[in-house]
């Protein structure tokens, strides 16, 4: 008898039921501790939400309709009831768990390895009917809780408030391995499963770095002015902050893979970059920016935008908006990972590789005083870039972490005074708080939505606002509360884009709340004409 999948489902349920990170880790560690080998590997992956290792870049690719159809066959309920239940509860997995016949509670359930095997088989099957058959078979033998987490795994969202880092910590706790060693092994192997199995055997240090799987990105902390770093400028190197799409470029022989910040493989969207990098000598992993390129320099993000979301861009678009890769870090060269080396050393390696061509290299500059940094900032803006980045010369590359070793300095464009029209509960730390605000600008005497903001207020402010929003709720649509348009916010944003998503016809990129304008009435909020003016300013019209 193999180990039961019940252990995984129970741990996920336990993690979902507790708010504390430590308690979540404990639940997961408890499920992993008694396992070993392939069962342990599969359980660790399933706890992280997928039967696949990250390096496999695979998804089960099962649509909602396929799952619902299988659930209908197993529960006897029609698709409409299943859909309505899922909407009412807000989760298809939970709804299906509840709709299973009463005898399902007494089932002995599934085994880890068969769940792993069947879920993996899903991506190999093309036809929806074949996929539905596999799911139906699993659901017929699953207990309600197992069904719930099976379906959540299929829908690609466990929503138990745990991520890969939580599972890493659970592995460390279960097998007494140092957390850093677990994180390193997971990063290098691209497989939380293999990491768990090797941790149990005390062999984490045998895991070697492999290219071609997504790696977390190192992120920067913001500064608002040069004075903030006055005392420590000598520790940093400065670079322009390019306005493009962050990407990691993996390359070996003529094989190239580009991964986006969301860890998706975007290689096919940028064939000219793949081709140029593929022709460069050597094997490497670079961190950098995909930018629109024109007349030997970076072009605006607005032009690049037209290339985004095009899986296979047609030839005329490729010709009209060429793109290039500007590299600013080197994370592996040949067989050697460089994450733990200092920035200075990584930079030297990057310059060596850049000599082979295939991409552009960011220019590095020094600023000794805040005044010099301001000059660099102005010059960067004049070159059409967003601002400057500062990188601590002695810092290692912390994949997936935002720290103070990298700083970013960019100017918010302008701010807008907007009116809150709807609110929703947040996620994660802010689950249960009405923290997500949809907001609008004026258009004549109507209000038209232009965006949604989640950040900027303190928990205390959010709580106060929550009480107010509950009082002025005018209607509820599932999780969304429409509110009387009374509250004015000042929001900052990185830029404005045309968008069909919002009624206003525009969308703000990265909106954040600067403050609540208690001093302003909704009638004094900004207008869609003002938005258009700012947008025109950006276009240089
Ligand atoms: P932000 O998206 O404004 O939070 O700023 C961080 C982003 O700036 C990174 O994710 C990169 O996409 C981008 N960026 C542009 N130039 C650089 C650079 N020289 N070094 C690091 N990140 C950069």
pLDDT digits (tens, 9 = 90+) for 501-537: 888 899 998 888 888 888 788 988 999 998 998 888 7
Q: Are 253 and 288 in contact (CB under 8 A)?
A: no
Q: Are 433 and 484 in contact (CB under 8 A)?
A: no
Among candidate residues 152, 241, 251, 391, the one labeled active-site is 241
Q: What is the CA radius of gyration of the chain?
A: 25
CA of 246 to the centre of ligand 1 (A): 7
Report whether residue 328 contacts ligand 1, using a CB cutoff of 6 Å: yes
pLDDT digits (tens, 9 = 90+) for 284-308: 999 999 999 998 889 988 788 888 8
Report whether residue 407 contacts ligand 1, using a CB cutoff of 6 Å: no
Q: Are 329 and 396 in contact (CB under 8 A)?
A: no
Residue that is written with structure tokens 């504390």 in the block: 20
Report whether residue 35 contacts ligand 1, using a CB cutoff of 6 Å: no
What's the confidence (pLDDT) of residue 540? 56
Ligand 1 nearest-atom number relative to CA 406:
21
Nearest CA to ligand 1 atom 11: 246
Among 220, 245, 325, residue to substitute to test ligand 1 (most atoms within 8 Å of Cβ): 220
Report whether residue 365 contacts ligand 1, using a CB cutoff of 6 Å: no
Phi-psi group of 377: left, alpha or beta (phi > 0 → left; psi -120 to 50 → alpha; rest → beta): alpha
* Full pLDDT tens readout for the chain, 541 residues: 899 999 999 999 999 999 899 999 999 999 999 999 999 999 999 999 999 998 888 888 788 889 999 999 999 999 999 999 988 888 899 999 999 988 888 888 899 999 999 999 988 888 888 999 999 999 999 999 999 999 999 987 778 888 889 999 999 999 999 999 999 999 999 999 999 999 999 999 999 999 999 999 999 998 878 999 999 999 999 999 998 999 999 999 999 999 998 888 999 999 999 999 999 999 999 999 999 999 888 998 878 888 887 788 999 999 999 999 999 999 999 989 999 999 999 999 999 999 999 999 999 999 999 999 999 999 998 888 989 999 999 999 999 888 899 999 987 667 899 999 999 988 877 778 899 999 999 998 899 999 998 877 888 889 999 999 999 999 988 889 999 999 999 998 878 889 888 888 999 988 888 888 887 889 889 999 989 988 887 765 4
13: which strand partners?
none
Nearest CA to ligand 1 atom 10: 246
Known catalytic residue at 408: no
259: which strand partners?
248, 265
Listed residue (108, 101, 110) closest to 77, CA to CA: 101
Ligand 1 nearest-atom number relative to CA 391:
20
Report whether residue 242 contacts ligand 1, using a CB cutoff of 6 Å: yes
As a whole number of Å, the end-to-end CA separation of the chain is 70
Ligand 1 nearest-atom number relative to CA 239:
19
CA of 409 to the centre of ligand 1 (A): 10
Nearest CA to ligand 1 atom 9: 246
CA of 34 to the centre of ligand 1 (A): 43
What's the confidence (pLDDT) of residue 305? 81
Report whether residue 289 contacts ligand 1, using a CB cutoff of 6 Å: yes
What's the confidence (pLDDT) of residue 535? 86
Maximum pairwise Cα distance, the chain: 74
Token pair of 106 as six digits: 């007494």
By the 10 Å C-beta count (0-12 exposed, 13-18 middle, 19+ buried), 191 is classed as buried
Report whether residue 509 contacts ligand 1, using a CB cutoff of 6 Å: no
CA of 77 to the centre of ligand 1 (A): 50
Element (H, E) at 317: helix 315-320
pLDDT digits (tens, 9 = 90+) for 35-48: 999 999 999 999 99
Report whether residue 493 contacts ligand 1, using a CB cutoff of 6 Å: no
Report whether residue 246 contacts ligand 1, using a CB cutoff of 6 Å: yes
Q: Are 5 and 146 in contact (CB under 8 A)?
A: yes
What's the confidence (pLDDT) of residue 541? 47
Q: Tell me if residue 325 falls in helix, strand or coil.
A: strand
């Amino acid at each position: 008898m193999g180990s039961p999948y019940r252990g995984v489902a129970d741990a996920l349920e336990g993690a979902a039921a507790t708010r504390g990170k430590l308690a979540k880790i404990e639940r997961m560690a408890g499920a992993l501790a008694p396992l070993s080998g392939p069962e342990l590997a599969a359980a660790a992956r399933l706890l992280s939400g997928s039967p696949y290792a990250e390096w496999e870049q695979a998804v089960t690719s099962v649509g909602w309709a396929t799952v619902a159809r299988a659930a209908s066959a197993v529960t006897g309920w029609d698709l409409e009831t299943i859909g309505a239940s899922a909407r009412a509860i807000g989760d298809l997995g939970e709804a299906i768990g509840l709709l299973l016949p009463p005898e399902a509670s007494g089932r002995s359930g599934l085994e880890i390895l068969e769940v792993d095997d069947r879920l993996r088989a899903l991506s190999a099957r093309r036809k929806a009917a074949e996929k539905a058959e596999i799911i139906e078979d699993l659901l017929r033998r699953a207990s309600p809780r197992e069904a719930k987490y099976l379906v959540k795994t299929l829908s690609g969202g466990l929503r138990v408030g745990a991520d890969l880092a939580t599972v890493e910590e659970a592995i460390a706790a279960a097998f007494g391995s140092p957390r850093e060693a677990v994180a390193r092994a997971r990063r290098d192997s691209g497989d939380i499963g293999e990491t768990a199995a090797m941790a149990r055997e005390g062999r984490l240090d045998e895991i070697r770095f492999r290219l071609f799987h997504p790696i977390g990105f190192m992120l920067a902390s913001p500064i608002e002015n040069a004075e903030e770093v006055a005392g420590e400028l000598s520790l940093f190197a400065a670079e322009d902050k390019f306005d493009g799409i962050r990407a990691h470029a993996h390359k070996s022989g003529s094989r190239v893979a580009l991964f986006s910040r969301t860890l998706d493989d975007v290689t096919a969207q940028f064939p000219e970059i793949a081709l140029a990098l593929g022709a460069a000598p050597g094997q490497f992993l670079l961190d950098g920016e995909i930018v629109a390129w024109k007349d030997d320099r970076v072009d605006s993000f607005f032009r690049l935008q037209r290339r985004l979301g095009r899986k296979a861009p047609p030839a005329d678009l490729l010709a009209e908006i060429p793109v290039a890769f500007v590299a600013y870090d080197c994370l592996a060269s040949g067989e050697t990972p460089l994450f733990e080396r200092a920035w200075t050393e990584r930079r030297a390696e990057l310059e060596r590789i850049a000599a082979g061509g295939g991409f552009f290299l960011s220019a590095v500059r020094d600023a000794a005083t805040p005044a010099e940094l301001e000059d660099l900032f102005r010059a960067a803006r004049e070159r059409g870039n967003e601002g400057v980045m500062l990188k601590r010369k002695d810092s290692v590359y912390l994949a997936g972490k935002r720290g103070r070793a990298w700083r970013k300095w960019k100017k918010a464009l302008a701010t807008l005074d907007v009116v809150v029209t709807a609110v929703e509960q947040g996620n994660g730390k802010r689950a249960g708080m009405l923290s997500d605000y949809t907001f609008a600008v004026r258009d004549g005497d109507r209000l038209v939505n232009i965006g949604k903001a989640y950040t900027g207020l303190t928990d205390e402010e959010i709580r106060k606002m929550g009480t107010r929003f509950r009082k002025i709720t005018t209607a509820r649509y599932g999780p969304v509360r429409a509110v009387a348009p009374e509250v004015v916010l000042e929001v900052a944003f990185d830029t404005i884009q045309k968008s069909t998503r919002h009624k206003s016809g525009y969308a703000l990129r990265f909106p954040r709340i600067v403050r609540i304008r208690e001093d302003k009435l909704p009638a004094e909020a900004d207008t869609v004409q003002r938005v258009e003016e700012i947008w025109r300013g950006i276009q240089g019209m």
